[in-house]
Amino acid sequence: MNTGELVELGQQLRVDSVRAAAAAGSGHPTSSMSAADLTAVLFARHLRYDFERPDHPGNDRFVLSKGHASPLMYAVYKATGAIDDEELLTFRKNGSRLEGHPTPRRLPWIETATGSLGQGLPVGVGIALAGKRLDHADYRVWVLCGDSELAEGSIWEAAEHAAYEHLDNLTLIVDVNRLGQRGPTRHGHDLDAYARRFQAFGWHTVETDGHDVDAVDRAYGEALSTRGQPTAILARTLKGKGVEAVQDREGLHGKPLPEAEEAIAELGGPRDLRIRVEAPSADGTPPAGHTGRPDLPRWDKGEEVATRNAFGEALTALGTARGDVVALDGEVGDSTRAEAFAKEHPERYFECYIAEQQMVAAAVGMAARGWTPYAATFAAFLTRAHDFIRMASVSGSGINLVGSHAGVAIGQDGPSQMGLEDLAMMRAVHGSTVLYPCDANQTARLVAAMADLDGIRYLRTSRGAGPVIYGPDEEFPVGGSKVLRSSGRDRLTLVAAGVTVPEALAAAQALEGEGIAVRVIDLYSVKPVDRETLRTAAEETGCLVTVEDHHPEGGLGDAVAEAFADGSPVPRLVRLAVRDMPGSASPEEQLRAAGIDAESIAAAGRLLVGEAIVS
Amino acid sequence: MNTGELVELGQQLRVDSVRAAAAAGSGHPTSSMSAADLTAVLFARHLRYDFERPDHPGNDRFVLSKGHASPLMYAVYKATGAIDDEELLTFRKNGSRLEGHPTPRRLPWIETATGSLGQGLPVGVGIALAGKRLDHADYRVWVLCGDSELAEGSIWEAAEHAAYEHLDNLTLIVDVNRLGQRGPTRHGHDLDAYARRFQAFGWHTVETDGHDVDAVDRAYGEALSTRGQPTAILARTLKGKGVEAVQDREGLHGKPLPEAEEAIAELGGPRDLRIRVEAPSADGTPPAGHTGRPDLPRWDKGEEVATRNAFGEALTALGTARGDVVALDGEVGDSTRAEAFAKEHPERYFECYIAEQQMVAAAVGMAARGWTPYAATFAAFLTRAHDFIRMASVSGSGINLVGSHAGVAIGQDGPSQMGLEDLAMMRAVHGSTVLYPCDANQTARLVAAMADLDGIRYLRTSRGAGPVIYGPDEEFPVGGSKVLRSSGRDRLTLVAAGVTVPEALAAAQALEGEGIAVRVIDLYSVKPVDRETLRTAAEETGCLVTVEDHHPEGGLGDAVAEAFADGSPVPRLVRLAVRDMPGSASPEEQLRAAGIDAESIAAAGRLLVGEAIVS
């Protein structure tokens, strides 16, 4: 397309954005109009993409970080012929693929769900990293951001990561329209302010008029020819560009244009220009597949092993068997034990430094390219990435998260380092799997099993060594549990997971000595939960006592309660959990103080079989 | 102190750090040793602080962002006489005030709990902002950071905030010891790399040798004399400085020194220098207290009002009555309705732009100075600040968080904007209060009530207008509930909150018409939960059906289940919640699709009283 055609295409994208929002009665046309020329030039002149083959390994990747500008996204899809005008006008309607914010769950050309600002660039960095270091392909990653979202710290985690990794296959286009949702941004049209920041972080920058299609074209060319560093294009634009009534005005964010017909006329009316997006020439390397069944590490019963160690060894073995497995860590690989993988498979290990949002985003980006990422840090610090995990589930992304140092059992370091909310956070993620192993062999099996699940999978590991309870050939289906003690005389059931399993076993042993038979269930699969086994235990023993190294809300106790939340008969339920704020103390003192050690469990058991009520 | 004494003091802080960690058998002496000279000079020459009066309004504020360097913190407390040597050696022991990571819950001189990296500077910005704009006091805020933690995006949210607000009362001291936990940082000893970044964000910077006490002293002096912008001092240091066996070596993070006695000898042995910290001269203005009972807005039954609107109006009224109330928002004040407060009380309103971590951190900083902050954004985006909320609870901080646009009821915008995990997140925070009003009068009362609670308080508001159900004089105690329908013939109980209350009432009305009497409870206080009323309903109706606009995990259903988790008799429990990933659709279509509208609730009710099992 020549200059005149590009200008026309920009206007067409505006018109179609206005039309889509008008048909929906909601949406963000003004945020689409500012970026229309930037998008027109990109799709018509620079993007290499095969819309017939969205999984083509050589496709460039486009991420709309400012996801609310979805009308623009869909308008450009229409211009490429990927969707038709009829579908464009289903925007935001019940059942439409064209959601208010784009998501790959609906449309095959979307790389990642956006709409929570500041996430597109971090995920784009993950895709670009995959291109450079895993796919070894020459696709480019183009990310379109708003200016408001540059206030998010996650943008600067991504900026640091991209420059450090010399991602010259990444171009960030910033639509500097100076207006956020409720008013002007901090820096308005001061492009230099943004350029200084990106330059300081090691980026090449280009400042341009975002409505001058030739200047934009030159900026993209400069980005393509820049080697050794990513490029940020800072484009001065006007929100609502092209329609006097809304252009560069406050108070018009997220609203259809007041007079859509007049606006369309002012923009020159509808057009039907078609973009012929150039297909990629070369294929990249798809992720190497399985080389066989993993040769998982094995431990003998009675050995003392920390589940974090088992995780590190198992992941390393899995990485040997599966070329698609990659690992990421937030500068604590010596603690999470991800460093074991790093030593064996350095080419598939990604040090993300202390930037948990970026770590999870990079995993999402790699998963989008077909890799199977495991991202590890302390369970407590995964809370830093909660919004990214939430959005990954909106994407339908398949990633593995591993949180070490769970609970008060870590001991002296104190509450800042203790994961005591992680089960609640991970259970509430849509479609998630939550696993909490108690021994090394179980950990190894679950590490391997989680690779093939859908959605967000979470494994919780422990710092201290614990006894190996299971033999190395035992199987642990996701959604299952293990009944570790059982008899026809059981008067209550202890439901434990992770570090509380050995405690529950010791408590049961003590109670047995007093003539009180107690069932013990290892509920290693916290979500999905093994309803069947829990119901049988409820029927047969009448009372379930959950014991967890976690706050009382959202964890094991709630998972067990949920197993009965369909109107079926409910047993008596008691939950032992961490109810007070811990301080520093030894692991043993911590478990005792929280009332989740063997002695506390046994005491609770005695009270309960005596029909006493614990309150 | 003169140069020689300062050098000696630095050595003393090292010796005491080594001794504390040796006595504990754990801890981070090498991370303390790098920052010992920086801390010695600060406390001996520049900090103005009255250890007898930690709440002195004129006190400078010191924040140890690298919280793992707690031995250094406690060593300097000993040097000031605030603690004695005996207490120093209780470090990390059960019951000691000297936790592995410092927290104000234990020690009155600590401003905020640290240990999750990248949080001290953001909170320090909040304190400095309070100093400038609320306290109008001339205290300074000094934050000591590690270099590793500069990878956290939250640091750059804080950097942006501080420079934009011209916080020249804030000095950041970066202990650039080049080594993180598992190895070298991205930038090693390249002080310029950090200086460029801070300068680009609008800071004054000073580069110095962090072991040259005179140079450090000059750097502090330069910070003190810098006007109009915050100062970052980038200090080149060596981890483990002063002990050859550990100095500048990898693999020694978070470990006591291998040969403590030899190390102490190498450092010149124990000393007993005393620092006379200068007390502040001037008092600041403490927060203005109550001026009376708030004149809360009132609505008539039957009006249609969104609870977010009621929040905005009630907060504004509260701000009129109470001079200590401040509001913060993440650039969505027109959506959360915090802008109502901004218009009435601009001097106590803080626009935090799209930086939710910084918004919560600023609130924590202001609360530390005695203010009562309300921080608002979309419920979904509060997940961005999860780790800050968690750490605020470790601090024992009292802050109010308000999440708008909860649930599928927002309609067309789709899942990225829907808070569907927020109740789970907030319930699992230690000591939190979780409130979810269903109408405008209830909202107003709860907005006022939450100001006086301890800990983290969360209010969930809704986007769309709903009917006013309660009169303006109704009272809503925290921990209570409202029985909206009840009879001796009730065959089940619907437990709802927020948007599902009108739906439950309509369902009950429909079922009544079919001869099925149903109780309806408005569980506006999700945590603490009204056990008494729920138990009575369970006894009298046998079956509780929870209905929530939230994922099934961690929300209303779990809160109700927890009310029976003490071994008391459990009713049949059924939970209606959002189980599938929503798309775009109208609010009504969304509630229907999720099975939480009146018709779906009525259908579930019919099934249940027919003894059918819903699965």
Q: What are phi and psi of B288, to 5 degrees?
A: -65, 135
What number is the average pLDDT over the span B443-447?
98
Topology classification of domain B304-467: Rossmann fold (3.40.50)
Residues of A designated catalytic: 356
Higher-confidence residue of B569 and A225: namely A225
Whether B90 contacts chain A with CB within 8 A? no
Residues in B touching A586 (Cβ below 8 Å): 94
What number is the average pLDDT over the span B473-501?
98
Nearest to B399 by CA among B480, B469, B507, B326: B326
Residues of B designated catalytic: 356
Residues in A touching B69 (Cβ below 8 Å): none
Confidence of residue B285 (pLDDT cuts 50, 70, 90): low
Nearest to A422 by CA among A396, A404, A397, A440: A404
Is it the case that residue B212 has pLDDT exceeding 70? yes
What number is the average pLDDT over the span B154-160?
98
Is it the case that residue B78 has pLDDT exceeding 80? yes
Residues in A touching B420 (Cβ below 8 Å): 428, 430
Whether A603 contacts chain B with CB within 8 A? no
Q: Do B416 and A355 touch (CB under 8 A)?
A: no
Per-residue pLDDT, A285? 67
CA pair distance A468, A303, nearest whole angstrom: 5
Residue of B nearest to A578 (CA): B430
Per-residue pLDDT, B284? 63
Residues in B touching A357 (Cβ below 8 Å): 153
Q: Do A557 and B552 touch (CB under 8 A)?
A: no
Task: For an interface test with B, give the residue of A187, A354, A378, A578 to mutate (most B CBs within 10 A).
Answer: A354
Confidence of residue B611 (pLDDT cuts 50, 70, 90): very low
Whether B421 contacts chain A with CB within 8 A? yes
Confidence of residue B543 (pLDDT cuts 50, 70, 90): very high
Q: Do B155 and A153 touch (CB under 8 A)?
A: yes
DSSP state of A439: S
Whether A343 contacts chain B with CB within 8 A? no
CA distance, residue B339 to nearest chain A CA (Å): 9
Residues in B touching A184 (Cβ below 8 Å): none
Residues in B touching A333 (Cβ below 8 Å): 182
Q: Do B331 and A181 touch (CB under 8 A)?
A: yes
- B74, B98 Cβ separation under 8 angstroms: yes
pLDDT tens string B315-372: 999 999 999 999 999 999 999 999 999 999 999 999 999 999 999 999 999 999 999 9
Q: Which of residues 107-126 of B touch A (CB under 8 A)?
A: 113-118
Tokens for A599, please give them: 């002695």
Whether A610 contacts chain B with CB within 8 A? no
- CA distance readout (Å), A354 to A115, A161, A404, B152, B390: 24, 11, 15, 6, 18
Q: Do A331 and B381 touch (CB under 8 A)?
A: no
Whether A485 contacts chain B with CB within 8 A? no
Q: Do B553 and A527 touch (CB under 8 A)?
A: yes
Residue of A nearest to B194 (CA): A200
Q: Does domain A482-614 have CATH number 3.30.420.40?
A: no
Gap between the terminal Cα atoms of chain B:
74
Burial class (CB in 10 A: 0-12, 13-18, 19+), A513: exposed
The residue written with tokens 């103390």 in the block is A585
* Bridge partners, residue B547, by sequence: B496, B576
Higher-confidence residue of B284 and A14: namely A14
DSSP state of B347: G
With DSSP H G I counted as helix, E B as strand and the rest as coil, what are the percentages for chain A, rounded to 5?
40, 15, 45
Whether A554 contacts chain B with CB within 8 A? yes
Query: CA torsion B583→B589→B591→B593, rounded to 10°?
Result: -60
Q: Do B566 and A558 touch (CB under 8 A)?
A: no
Residue of B nearest to A586 (CA): B94
Helices A120-129 & A153-164, crossing angle to 10 degrees?
A: 20
Whether B190 contacts chain A with CB within 8 A? no
Please state which of the four CATH numbers 3.40.50.720, 3.40.930.10, 1.10.10.10, 3.40.50.970 is assigned to the domain occupying A3-266. Answer: 3.40.50.970
**CB nearest A584 (choices: B99, B412, B566):** B99
Per-residue pLDDT, B238? 98
Is beta strand A304-306 parallel, antiparallel or unpaired with respect to A465-467?
antiparallel
Q: pLDDT below 70 — which residues of chain A?
A: 283-286, 611-615
Domains A304-467 and A482-614 share a fold: yes
Buried b (16+ CB within 10 A) or exposed e, B505-543: bbbbebbeeeebbbbbbbbbbbbebbbebbbbbbebbeb
Per-residue pLDDT, B565? 86
Whether A427 contacts chain B with CB within 8 A? yes
Q: Do A564 and B573 touch (CB under 8 A)?
A: yes
User: What is the interface pTM, i.e. ipTM, of the complex?
Assistant: 0.97
Q: Where are the domains of chain B?
A: 3-266, 304-467, 482-614
CA pair distance B139, B142, nearest whole angstrom: 10
Q: Do B149 and A354 touch (CB under 8 A)?
A: yes
Per-residue pLDDT, A390? 98
CA distance, residue A535 to nearest chain B CA (Å): 13
Nearest to B462 by CA among B506, B504, B524: B524
Whats the size of chain A, residue-wise? 615
Task: For an interface test with A, give the residue of B107, B148, B359, B558 to mutate (most A CBs within 10 A).
Answer: B558
Task: For an interface test with B, give the residue of A164, A389, A584, A606 to mutate (most B CBs within 10 A).
Answer: A584
Q: Do B430 and A94 touch (CB under 8 A)?
A: no
Is it the case that residue B576 has pLDDT exceeding 90? yes
Provide the sign of the torsion angle of the four alpha carbons A151, A153, A155, A161, taken in this order.
positive
User: Quick one: residue B465, left, alpha or beta (phi over 0 = left, psi -120 to 50 = alpha)?
Assistant: beta
